[in-house]
């Protein structure tokens, strides 16, 4: 578990959690994404890629792009000279945005602190997500977890099975839709239908092309499923820039134009801005930063007398003021951890969000991975309300964003500053996700 020293008057400690930006240093042979001119069909792409001795890993359908494995640099050069090829880009690594923190286990059903903080405890709202499909683009879902079934009838995997073999996806899925029953936990939208879209492997790792495969599947099939997919949650990402993979962005834009709201985690690197994270930087997604749900405790740290209060920015969260001109920035903050306790040795220690555990029961994880699904669950509730008013109604992603921002709790006041190294205020207190005011 990563911990963070407080800023003390005497010394500024270097930030311990920065990771290298891997995307820029990848070689341009090996695994790549070949972007073709618009309209170049699968057959033409297949011939072009095989023609240089490369292996096709996946053809995409909503963009003219193909994931390929190149035998050498010469193959890349041949492809780059092909008249139908626009660009050959590296297939960058993508990671899940959470870390484990503590165990769980209880008799009866617990209403997790995050669900309570956003006002979505059972009985508090007139909506449960019934009839709303939510794609969980992650490590898969636990198909036998008693607090998650029944899952959506179809699924996607970039690997061999849709089943979760890591636990991250099952935890995220539970925050969205753990069932309101007598066991485990309850999610924000307990009657929503989660669809497993497995784009990360058993270690929580994927690449741009595995994510593109999952989103391509949603864009191609989501509207025809019962219930249709209305929301996508992606608690994952990598360091990057807006246009470093135009094909990935194009699939996200397709979903946006279809009226599917894509909710993503802002990232767990407080020294980066949302504008430096993919896919969080895309103007078409709703990027969610992490805050604490509850007051923390102080274990008698000698240099810091206070506590880390509820609705503080998490010490690990990536943030970044929302810029209406570009559409880039954090939409809203939401709980990505129960609390942060100050230890006796003056570290901030995260207590994770309680949710469904791979194999049954519950466990705790913290990260912006846990913040995003709170918002995805609320968007599912908004969709249910929209369809109740008009069965042919639509909730445009931009309207979802505008409502989440306008109706957030404590706009202008929260999130409070994290009193830890590496955190700096981004210039906007965008508020904390609030389900009741959004659904009024």
CB nearer to Ca ion: give 181 or 326: 181
Contact window for Ca ion (CB under 5 A) among 25-33, 45-53, 95-103, 109-117: 109-117
Contact 22/240 with Cβ under 8 angstroms?
Answer: no
Q: Is 241 in the site for Ca ion (CB under 5 A)?
A: no
CB nearer to Ca ion: give 251 or 334: 334
Contacts of 402 (CB under 8 A, 6+ apart): none
Closest of 224, 228, 291 to residue 261, by C-alpha: 228
Catalytic residues: 138, 168, 369
The correct pick among 31, 91, 147, 269 for binding Ca ion (CB under 5 A) is 147
Distance CA 249, CA 62 (A): 11
Contact window for Ca ion (CB under 5 A) among 4-12, 160-168, 232-240, 422-430: 422-430
Nearest distance from C-beta of residue 333 to Ca ion, angstroms: 7
CB nearer to Ca ion: give 200 or 409: 409
The correct pick among 45, 97, 179, 357 for binding Ca ion (CB under 5 A) is 179
The correct pick among 31, 184, 273, 340 for binding Ca ion (CB under 5 A) is 184
Structural Rg of the chain based on CA atoms: 21
φ/ψ (deg, to 5) at 364: -115, 135
Nearest distance from C-beta of residue 164 to Ca ion, angstroms: 18
Nearest distance from C-beta of residue 85 to Ca ion, angstroms: 40
The correct pick among 55, 106, 181, 424 for binding Ca ion (CB under 5 A) is 181
Strands of the sheet with 353-356, listed across from one edge: 99-103, 362-366, 353-356
CB nearer to Ca ion: give 356 or 421: 356
Contact window for Ca ion (CB under 5 A) among 57-65, 157-165, 264-272, 319-327: 319-327
The correct pick among 31, 319, 338, 384 for binding Ca ion (CB under 5 A) is 319
Nearest distance from C-beta of residue 59 to Ca ion, angstroms: 40
* 74 DSSP 8-state letter: H
Q: Which long-range contacts (CB under 8 A, 24 or more apart) does 423-430 make?
A: 423/270, 423/313, 423/315, 424/270, 426/273, 426/319, 426/320, 426/321, 426/330, 427/321, 428/321, 428/322, 428/329, 428/330, 430/289, 430/321, 430/322, 430/330, 430/331, 430/332, 430/333, 430/405
330-369 binders of Ca ion (CB under 5 A) = none
Half-sphere exposure of 420 (CA within 13 A, CB side): 31
Per-residue mark of binding to Ca ion, 65-104 (x: CB under 5 A)? ----------------------------------------
Nearest distance from C-beta of residue 430 to Ca ion, angstroms: 5
The correct pick among 191, 201, 295, 428 for binding Ca ion (CB under 5 A) is 428
Q: Coil, strand or helix: which one is 348?
A: strand
For 170-185, the three-class secondary structure string (H helix, E strand, C coil) is HHHHHHHHCCCCCCCE
Contact window for Ca ion (CB under 5 A) among 143-151, 267-275, 339-347, 372-380: 143-151
The correct pick among 44, 77, 109, 116 for binding Ca ion (CB under 5 A) is 109
Nearest distance from C-beta of residue 195 to Ca ion, angstroms: 19
Size of the site for Ca ion (CB under 5 A): 9
Distance CA 300, CA 278 (A): 39
Q: Is 426 in the site for Ca ion (CB under 5 A)?
A: yes
Q: Dump the DSSP string for 28-67.
A: SSEEEEEEEPTT--HHHHHHHHHHTTPEEEEE-SSSSEEE
Buried b (16+ CB within 10 A) or exposed e, 309-339: bbbbbbbbbbbbbbeeeeebbbbbbbbbbbb
Contact window for Ca ion (CB under 5 A) among 149-157, 240-248, 253-261, 418-426: 418-426
Distance CA 335, CA 352 (A): 10
Nearest distance from C-beta of residue 297 to Ca ion, angstroms: 25
- Residues at the interface with Ca ion (CB under 5 A): 109, 147, 179, 181, 184, 186, 319, 426, 428
């Amino acid at each position: 578990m990563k911990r963070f020293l407080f800023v003390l008057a005497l010394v500024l400690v270097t930030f311990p959690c920065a990771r290298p930006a891997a995307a820029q240093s990848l070689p341009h042979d090996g695994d790549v994404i070949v972007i073709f001119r618009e309209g170049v069909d699968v057959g033409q792409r297949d011939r072009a890629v095989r023609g240089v001795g490369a292996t096709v890993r996946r053809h995409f359908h909503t963009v003219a792009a193909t994931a390929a494995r190149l035998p050498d640099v010469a193959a890349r050069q041949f492809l780059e000279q092909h008249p139908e090829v626009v660009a050959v880009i590296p297939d960058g690594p993508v990671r899940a945005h959470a870390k484990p923190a503590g165990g769980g286990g209880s008799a009866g059903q617990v209403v997790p602190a995050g669900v309570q903080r956003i006002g979505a405890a059972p009985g508090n709202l007139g909506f449960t997500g019934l009839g709303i499909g939510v794609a969980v683009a992650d490590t898969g879902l636990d198909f036998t977890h008693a607090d998650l079934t029944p899952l959506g009838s179809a699924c996607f995997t970039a690997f061999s099975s849709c089943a979760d073999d890591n636990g991250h996806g099952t935890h995220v899925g539970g925050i969205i839709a753990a069932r309101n029953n007598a066991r485990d936990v309850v999610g924000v939208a307990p009657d929503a239908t989660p669809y497993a879209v497995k784009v990360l492997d058993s270690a929580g790792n994927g690449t741009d092309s595995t994510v593109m495969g999952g989103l391509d599947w949603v864009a191609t099939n989501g509207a025809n499923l019962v219930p249709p997919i209305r929301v996508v949650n992606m608690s994952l990402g990598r360091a990057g820039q807006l246009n470093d993979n135009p094909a990935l962005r194009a699939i996200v834009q397709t979903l946006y134009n279809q009226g599917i709201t894509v909710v993503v985690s802002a990232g767990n690197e407080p020294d980066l801005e949302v504008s430096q994270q993919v896919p969080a930087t895309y103007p078409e997604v709703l990027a969610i930063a992490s805050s604490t749900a509850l007051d923390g405790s102080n274990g008698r740290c000698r240099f810091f007398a206070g506590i880390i209060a509820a609705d503080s920015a998490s010490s690990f969260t990536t943030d970044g003021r929302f810029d209406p001109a570009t559409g880039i920035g954090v939409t809203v903050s939401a709980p990505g951890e129960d609390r942060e306790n100050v230890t006796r040795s003056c570290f901030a220690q995260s207590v994770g969000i309680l949710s469904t555990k791979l194999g049954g029961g519950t466990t705790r994880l913290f990260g912006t991975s846990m913040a995003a699904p709170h918002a995805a669950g609320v968007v599912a509730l908004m969709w249910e309300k929209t369809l109740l008013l008009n069965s042919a109604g639509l909730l445009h992603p931009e309207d979802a964003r505008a409502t989440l921002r306008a109706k957030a709790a404590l706009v202008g006041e929260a999130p409070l500053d994290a009193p830890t190294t590496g955190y700096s205020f981004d210039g906007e207190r965008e508020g904390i996700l609030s389900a009741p005011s959004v659904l009024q």
